[in-house]
Amino acid sequence: MIDKVIKSDEEWRRILTPEQYRVTRQKGTERAFTGEYCESHDPGIYQCVCCGTDLFESKKKFESGTGWPSFTDPLDPERIAYVKDFSYSMSRVEVLCAVCDAHLGHVFEDGPPPTGLRYCLNSVSLKLKREIEA
């Protein structure tokens, strides 16, 4: 069972930048090819920018050519929540942090093996906990 992180709108606004708030709390999207992690190849764990939950491994990141960081699968499926999204006259599956309900991006069924999934995420929804080389 996951312990939920619940904060008021005012608390989220205090701890997040305006862009982080717009994307994670208001279901926004950063512009393609502008995110910090779009072209990143640094090893580590991608965490939720809102609550710090470990979500995706850099080993599962791939170049999708879409302009957003893409992953084949989450670190732990229980840390991700899914919601059907019919905004903008499209049918998509929204990806949320299961701990704090932060909007991360969407998942599509056009990814590489072995999962065939593409978790297309906003860089601003994530923070990379980099691995330190020994």
Environment class of 10 (CB within 10 Å of its CB; exposed 0-12, middle 13-18, buried 19+): exposed
Angstrom distance (rounded) from CA 102 to CA 96: 5
Active-site annotation holds for 97: no
User: 68-119 pLDDT, tens per residue?
Assistant: 999 999 999 999 999 998 877 778 899 999 999 999 999 999 999 999 999 9
What pLDDT does 123 receive?
A: 97
Superfamily of domain 9-130: Peptide methionine sulfoxide reductase. (2.170.150.20)
Angstrom distance (rounded) from CA 51 to CA 81: 15
> Who has greater pLDDT, 3 or 88?
3
What pLDDT does 134 receive?
A: 47
Catalytic position from the list 38, 48, 100, 120: 120
Environment class of 52 (CB within 10 Å of its CB; exposed 0-12, middle 13-18, buried 19+): middle
What pLDDT does 1 receive?
A: 67
Q: Which sequence spans correspond to the domains of the chain? A: 9-130
User: 44-66 pLDDT, tens per residue?
Assistant: 999 999 999 999 999 999 999 99
What pLDDT does 132 receive?
A: 63
Q: Are 23 and 122 in contact (CB under 8 A)?
A: yes
What pLDDT does 107 receive?
A: 96
Is 133 a residue whose pLDDT tops 70?
A: no
